[in-house]
Amino acid sequence: MDSLDLQVLSQARDWFNAGRKVWLVTVIETWGSAPRPPGALLCLRDDGQVAGSVSGGCVEDDLIDRLRHGERVATPSLIAYGVTKEEAARFGLPCGGNLRLVQEPLQSVAWIDEVLERTTRHELVARTLSLATGAVHVEPARRGEAFTFDGHTLRALFGPRWRLLIIGAGQLSRTVAQMALALDFDVVCCDPREEYNLTWDVPGTTFSTAMPDDLVLELQLDPHSAVVAVTHDPKLDDLVLLEALKSPAFYIGALGSRGNTATRRERLKLFDLSDAEIDRLHGPIGLDIGSKTPAEIAVAIVAEIVAVKNGVQLTQKKQGSSVPAVRVPAA
C-alpha cells in the first residue's frame, strides 16, 4: 500500500474527529489505462474537500459534484466510471480506461487508529470491509497478498512504508535523505562519529548513533527496506554490509569506485557471507548518469533504489559494477 493512502486515512480520521461527515472511496477494479491501481484511496468531506485520488482528477470532480447535489450514501455502494468510450473521455480516463469504486461512509476511526499504529511498527495488515453490513475488521496480512474484492467483501493491505537506512551523515547523505522523504520513504540515518552526528539536521528523519551492525539487527530489515553505506570509512560501511547482505532488504549499496568495490568484495569473502549474498551488493552505487556533484550522485543513488523497488532492469550501470548492467539488444 502506498504511503499516500496512509496519509488519506490520517486525514479522514482528523476530519471525522473534528465532527465532519466523511466518505472513503476505494478503487476496486480497473481496465485499460486507469491511472490508479486497485486499493487506491480517496477521502471526501461533507463540504467537498478531498484528500488522495482515484483518477487523474475528473472522477474526483464528479464525486464532489454528486456530494454537493445531495448524493450522500449511508451504506457502502458501488460506482462505475468509463463504461463507454464517451464516459471515458468525459471523466479523463486515458485509452478508454474504466474503473469501479466503493464509496463508504466513515462510521468509526478506531480501525484507522489501529492501521496507522501497526504500520508505524512496520507491520503488514489487511482491512476488510463487508459491503452488506459496513463492518470493518483489521487483521495481520502476509507478504505476497494483494488487494481483493469478490463482490461482497473488500480486502485492502496497508504498510509497512518503504524504509531507507543511510550509513553516514555527510552532505551526500542529507541530499539522499531529502529525496527519499519526497518519495515517501521512512528514512533512518546512522553515524556513530561525533563530528558528523552533531550536525545532522534533516527534518522528518530518524537519527541513530548506534554501531551500524547493531542497528541493522535492531531494525529487523524486511523486503521493504533499503540500505546505502556512504561513509567512505570501510570500518563502518563493512559493518553494516556484513549484516544487511544477510537480510531480506530489497536493495543494499555502498559508495566507492570500481576498484574499491572489488577490494570490498574480497574483504567480505573473509566473513560468513556466501557468494550469492555478496553478489547482492550494488557497487559502485547508483546509475551511471555522469554524476559529479553530491546532488547528482544522490539522484543516481535514489534512481537506482526506485528502479530496483519497481522491478525495473538496470540497463545504466558502469562497466565493471558489482551488479552488472542488463544489456538491451539493439533494435
Q: How do residues 17-45 score in pLDDT, each as one tens digit?
A: 999 999 999 999 876 655 678 899 999 99
SS3 call for 243: helix
Q: How far apart are CA 142 and CA 331, in angstroms?
A: 41
- Neighbour-count burial for 182-208, b at 16+ CB within 10 Å, e otherwise: eeebbbbbbbbeeebeeebebeebebb
pLDDT at 56 over 80: no
> Which amino acid type is present at position 220?
Q
Residue ranges of domains in the chain: 3-158, 163-309
pTM of the model: 0.69
pLDDT given for residue 76 in this prediction: 95
Domain 163-309, CATH: 3.40.50.720
If you average pLDDT over every residue of the chain, what do you get?
A: 88
Torsion, CA 108, CA 6, CA 40, CA 301, rounded to 10: 180
Kindly state the average pLDDT of the residues 222-230.
Answer: 93
